[in-house]
Structure 1
Amino acid sequence: MARGSGNSNEGNELSEVVRQLAAVAQQLARNSTNNGDAHGELFKKVAQSKPPTYQGEPDPTVLENWLREFEKLFGGVECPENSKVGCATYYLRGEADLWWQQNEATIKALPGFKWTMFQEKVRDKFYPSFLQKQKAEEFSNLAMGYMSINEYYTKFIELSRFAKEFVATEKAKARKFESGLTTDLQLKLSG
């Protein structure tokens, strides 16, 4: 009889373990479904903003604008860090899409892979160092010439992001802006 009662306890314990496993499995299934829905909702939010695509153009301004748009978008939709690359790479086209398709596994396997590393890798590929130097030089030589103040300002802002070492502080930025103005305007500013 003692044996029968022991089997009964073992049976009850086993039933309890099975019940708990079923509850855990059920919770995991719910979480999985909720995460899938959350990811789908995030993707819808991103798509509704109609983000730009990037084709791998050799113009670094196009690349930087594309990355900046996604930075703003990710802030607006509160995109979690682990979803940023997936959302952005959907908007790669042409050469950029082929590059990502061929290098995705290798890049994602790098230690510490996140959105910032993705940006570095895209820049390494589509904005090589010789172009970086070229843009920095273009900024260094920027002068107002025959441009209007608004045109000069727009060009200054556009190129300043390619030469951050020249405009590391607001004071340095103001000095560089002023040095590119026409002599007449510089004289008026100094007065």
Structure 2
Amino acid sequence: MELMAAAMAQEVVSRTADRVAQEARRGGEDELRLERFMNNKPPIFNGGYDPDGAQQWIEGIERIFGAMRCMDEHRVFLGGYVLHDEANHWWGNAKQRLEVGGAFITWARFKREFLTKYFPADERNRKVIEFMELKQGGMTVSE
């Protein structure tokens, strides 16, 4: 009986050690990923009303993600890391709301929320109309 209890205790210790080692490796990988990301000098977004800046921020971040071959599961963390000031406060609140019930936030969902906040649909529509009305010579872009 004592032998069986000792074997069970050893199994628990072994599993715990394996789990701790796995989490340490994962933490080290996260640090390396963040370091690689920051070495690419990602753009910082501070928030405020700047629709063009918001779109440029997304494009700049996604260019780095492509170069790093960054998986979707890491993009939200890395993108959120370079939100500062008002944008960081917004993201903290939005993240809490989106994670209710343990939901995983995809990059597509993050972008949708981010652009809704910082590049609203009415502004996007205005930009499209503005672009379509651009003229070169006597012709519009749509012609």
* Fold conserved between structures, TM > 0.5: yes
Point out where structure 2 has 5 or more consecutive residues left out of the alignment.
Answer: none
Which secondary structure state, in structure 1, belongs to the residue aligned with residue 17 of structure 2? helix
Q: What residue in structure 1 maps to residue 93 of structure 2?
A: 102
Write the mapping of 1:96-175 to structure 2, written as runs, cut at 5 A.
96-109=87-100, 111=103, 113-145=105-137
- Per-residue deviation, 1:43: 0.4
Q: Secondary structure at the match of 1:120?
A: helix
* Bigger radius of gyration among the two: 1
2:21 to 25, 30, 45: 30
Shift of 1:82: 2.2
Moved over 4 A (4+): none
**Cα root mean square deviation, aligned:** 2.2
Pick from 4, 10, 21 the counterpart of residue 19 of structure 1. Answer: 10
Tell whether the 8 Å contact from 2:37 to 2:78 is kept in structure 1 after alignment: yes
Aligned length: 141
TM-score, normalised via structure 2 length: 0.86
Say which structure, 1 or 2, has more relative contact order (CA 8 Å, 6+ apart): 2
Q: Give the fraction of aligned pairs with identical amino acids, expressed as a percent.
A: 20
- Partner in structure 1 of residue 51 of structure 2: 60
Cα pair 1:57 1:63 within 8 Å, conserved:
no
CA gap 1:29/1:112 in 2 versus in 1, 3 angstroms: closer
Moved more, 128-137 or 37-46: 128-137
